[in-house]
């Protein structure tokens, strides 16, 4: 995996990540394909919209259908019919947020499946073994994702565990090395000096890229913004920087400004299924009754399949009927919107006008569309 910075604009970077499965232009948004499918979409649709990489969740694929089966069937790319790059998380975040009865020990983490209650034990080595079996292009280390709020003392203690696990992940990876990449994760909660300390420890181990984890987990925006502002630009310059689980576009603007390159989030896809749609006029809730007879497209400035072919009245109708096509058309639109946003943001950085881009978008992102 190669990382090349093409242009800097302040701390904001426009770069490319070269993988054997294709180039990723950054800053990049990765749609989330939890079970190996970006919900409601085919891989071709994701590609046509313009996405170069997707994320898939190790926790889910490990439980169902199982990493051994995916390996046997030829790996994750063949299995899901997506032949571009794939990033897999370590499963840690889902163990902490979805599984029950989890018990963290220095050795690893024990938990019960949220699907069938079965008991599992994941170690750092196991997390890498699973991701090697899946065959993703970018793997993540197993960490402890500290919840918010957490006492400083607890966070401090947790960092030792996370650093220890990161080393074990790296060691295991070195022994079973192939051309997959492995990223380290920097924790530390909302405490800057702990983030700094965590970063030093993780960077020393030496990974192919670095992520900020444990943000957007319930802490006030100011705290998240402060941590990003003070830490992101200090992360290794010559490696990709990934802000895990963050995808609110306002947060993205802030993070890119301070040097983040990669994002993933369920916001565009989940909101789509819930009828919340992003437009150049602001956010729209498609179920609102004023769209009942609205013969105009969702977003007159949008060229997506949905906006080219359907009216707000029809999208509202499909939503009210809970039709599958509602989820499809809404997801296409939101993913298209996100993809164009990132594309234009990359152009802005390349042309040295990121600040203008940011200023232009803030009012749009703050706005809920209202026809009154």
Give the footprint of its own copies on this chain (CB under 8 A). Answer: 35-37, 39-42, 60, 64-65, 69, 72-74, 79-81, 292-293, 295, 309-311, 313-314, 316-318, 320-321, 323-325, 327-328
Q: H helices of 190-283, where?
A: 192-205, 221-231, 249-257, 267-273
Integer Cα distance of 128 and 241 in angstroms: 20
What is the closest distance, in whole angstroms, from the C-beta atom of residue 39 to its own copies in the complex?
6
Nearer to its own copies by C-beta: 36 or 92?
Answer: 36
Binding-site members are 89-93, 143, 187, 214, 302, 304, 307, 333
Is the Cα dihedral 123, 84, 330, 319 positive or negative? Answer: negative
Q: What is the dihedral of CA 88, 263, 178, 60, to 10 degrees?
A: 0
Integer Cα distance of 152 and 81 in angstroms: 44
Strand partners, 24: 17
Q: Determine phi and psi for 69, rounding to 5 degrees.
A: -65, -45
Nearer to its own copies by C-beta: 120 or 170?
Answer: 120
Strand partners, 54: 86
Catalytic residues: 89, 264
Binding-site members for substrate are 89-93, 143, 187, 214
What is the closest distance, in whole angstroms, from the C-beta atom of residue 19 to its own copies in the complex?
22
Please report the beta strands in 137-267, taking only residues with DSSP state E, as ranges in sequence order. Answer: 138-140, 181-186, 209-212, 241-243, 262-264
Integer Cα distance of 184 and 169 in angstroms: 9
Nearer to its own copies by C-beta: 15 or 38?
Answer: 38
For the chain, report the end-to-end CA distance as a whole number of angstroms: 51
Nearer to its own copies by C-beta: 37 or 274?
Answer: 37
22-26 β-sheet, strand order: 2-9, 12-19, 22-26
Integer Cα distance of 11 and 237 in angstroms: 10
What is the closest distance, in whole angstroms, from the C-beta atom of residue 58 to its own copies in the complex?
15
Integer Cα distance of 212 and 94 in angstroms: 16
Binding-site members for Zn(2+) are 302, 304, 307, 333
Strand partners, 30: 264
Nearer to its own copies by C-beta: 68 or 237?
Answer: 68
What is the closest distance, in whole angstroms, from the C-beta atom of residue 288 to its own copies in the complex?
14
Nearer to its own copies by C-beta: 252 or 327?
Answer: 327
Q: Name, in order, each residue with C-beta under 8 angstroms of 87's C-beta and a sequence gap of 6 or more.
A: 30, 53, 54, 55, 56, 136, 137, 138, 139, 140, 262, 264
What is the closest distance, in whole angstroms, from the C-beta atom of residue 327 to its own copies in the complex?
6
């Amino acid at each position: 995996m190669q990382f090349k910075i093409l242009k800097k604009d302040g701390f904001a970077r426009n770069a490319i990540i070269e993988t054997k499965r294709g180039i990723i232009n950054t800053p990049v948004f990765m749609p989330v394909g939890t079970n190996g499918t970006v919900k409601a979409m085919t891989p071709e649709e994701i590609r046509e919209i313009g996405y170069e990489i997707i994320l898939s969740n190790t926790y889910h694929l490990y439980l169902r259908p199982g990493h051994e089966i995916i390996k046997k069937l030829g790996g994750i790319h063949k299995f899901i019919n997506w032949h571009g790059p794939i990033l897999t998380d370590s499963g840690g975040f889902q163990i902490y947020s979805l599984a029950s009865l989890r018990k963290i020990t220095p050795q690893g983490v024990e938990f019960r499946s949220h699907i069938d209650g079965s008991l599992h034990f994941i170690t750092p080595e196991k997390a890498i073994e699973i991701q090697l079996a899946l065959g993703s292009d970018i793997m993540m280390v197993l960490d402890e994702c500290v919840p918010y709020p957490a006492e400083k003392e607890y966070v401090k203690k947790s960092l030792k565990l996370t650093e220890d696990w990161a080393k074990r992940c790296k060691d295991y990876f070195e022994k079973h090395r192939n051309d997959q990449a492995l990223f380290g994760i920097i924790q530390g909660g909302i405490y800057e000096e702990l983030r700094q300390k965590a970063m030093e420890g993780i960077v020393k181990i030496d990974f192919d890229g670095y992520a900020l984890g444990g943000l957007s987990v319930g802490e006030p925006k100011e705290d998240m913004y402060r941590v990003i502002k003070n830490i992101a630009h200090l992360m290794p310059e010559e490696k990709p920087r990934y802000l895990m689980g963050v995808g609110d576009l306002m947060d993205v603007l802030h993070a890119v400004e301070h040097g983040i390159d990669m994002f993933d989030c369920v916001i565009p896809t989940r909101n789509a299924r819930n009828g919340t749609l992003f437009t150049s006029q602001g956010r729209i809730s498609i179920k609102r009754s004023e769209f009942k007879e609205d013969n105009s497209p969702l977003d007159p400035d949008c060229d997506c399949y949905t906006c080219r072919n359907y009216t707000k009245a029809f999208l509202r109708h499909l939503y009210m009927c809970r039709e599958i096509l509602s989820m499809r058309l809404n997801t296409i639109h939101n993913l298209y919107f996100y993809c164009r946003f990132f594309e234009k943001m990359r152009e802005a950085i390349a042309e040295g006008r990121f600040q203008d881009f940011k200023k232009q978008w803030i009012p749009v992102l703050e706005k809920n569309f209202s026809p009154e």
